Amino acid sequence: MLSEKKIFDWKYKGYLVNNILSQNDVDEINNELSNLRIQRNKKDSSWGEYGIYSHPHKESELILKYFGHPKVIEILETILNNKIEGIQSLAYFKPPGELGRDAHQDSFYTESGWGNSINVIFCLDDSDQSNGCLWSYESSHFLPILPIEIDEERIKTNPTFWKNERGKGCVMPQNHNFKKIYHECKSGDVLFTHDYLVHGSEDNNSKNYRRSIVMSYKTIKSKLRQGGQMKREPFDVYEIRKKHWNL
């Protein structure tokens, strides 16, 4: 069960963190993602050695397994007050020197509506400001979907096939007083972020990686934009839980 503080964080700050993954979980996810990345790069080098990996759950039963993690599903049902389904996954390797992600709101892309979708970030390395941790504007999930500002030069820093990391940041209201929070997480932590929360990440200026996998969910029957790049498709996480976790 979630503590009152964590429920408060979710309702009023737009995020919560819980330590869910064991060291064995972290190790097997990292090993699987490394193998997937190496195999992909043998077939197609255009993503770069450590480029973002889109939908690894579609290629790996082990990665798919974690979409059905019982503790994750329990937390999601509690904070969303609804049944849920999976929609997409993205793996980040974030080696030293990797640039960060511009400010954005996830529902700008999914169009699922306020509080109907959520990103669940499995932290696979310790993260802090030096290696490019996630940041957010606390309580900014109470804002509407914000306008986007295009920066053509920064867009050029994106991977060839992925144009949404940089150069399309959302614009915060003038003279806002939302506090910028740096989510310094431990390996094994899982960070839940509201779909309207304004967030991004810093550049990795350290000698360490900041690996993570983002698994996205939405409430049953809520709207979903498929997307030209992601081509999101809802799927049943309860069947995954039953198959892999015997629940």
**pLDDT at res. 247:** 84
101 pLDDT exceeds 80? yes
**pLDDT at res. 226:** 95
β pairing state of 15-19 and 189-194:
antiparallel
* CA 42 vs CA 34, 37, 46, 159: distances in Å: 13, 9, 10, 17
Residues in the chain: 247
d(CA 6, CA 43): 43
**pLDDT at res. 157:** 86
pLDDT digits (tens, 9 = 90+) for 20-74: 999 999 999 999 999 999 999 999 888 889 999 999 999 999 999 999 999 999 9
Q: What is the mean pLDDT of residues 83-90?
A: 98
Q: Are the beta carbons of 209 and 215 closer than 8 angstroms?
A: no
pLDDT digits (tens, 9 = 90+) for 104-160: 999 999 999 999 999 999 999 999 999 999 999 999 999 999 999 998 889 888 877
**pLDDT at res. 117:** 98
Dihedral sign for Cα 89, 95, 98, 100, please: positive
167 pLDDT exceeds 70? yes
pLDDT digits (tens, 9 = 90+) for 217-232: 999 999 999 998 889 9
Q: What is the mean pLDDT of residues 188-204?
A: 97
Other CB atoms within 10 A of residue 168 CB: 18
Token pair, residue 131, equals: 């290696």
246 or 87, which is more confident: 87
**pLDDT at res. 75:** 98
Dihedrals φ, ψ of 194, to 5°?
A: -65, 145
Q: What is the mean pLDDT of residues 226-241?
A: 94
Dihedrals φ, ψ of 80, to 5°?
A: -95, -10
d(CA 14, CA 17): 11
Other CB atoms within 10 A of residue 232 CB: 20
Q: What is the mean pLDDT of residues 65-93?
A: 98
1 pLDDT exceeds 80? no
Residue with tokens 């350290």: 206
Q: Are the beta carbons of 168 and 67 closer than 8 angstroms?
A: no
4 pLDDT exceeds 80? yes
Q: Please, which residues have CB within 8 angstroms of residue 218's CB and are 6 or more apart in sequence?
A: 84, 85, 87, 110, 112, 116, 117, 118, 224, 234
Q: Residue 206, class by beta-carbon neighbours within 10 Å (0-12 exposed, 13-18 middle, 19+ buried)?
A: middle
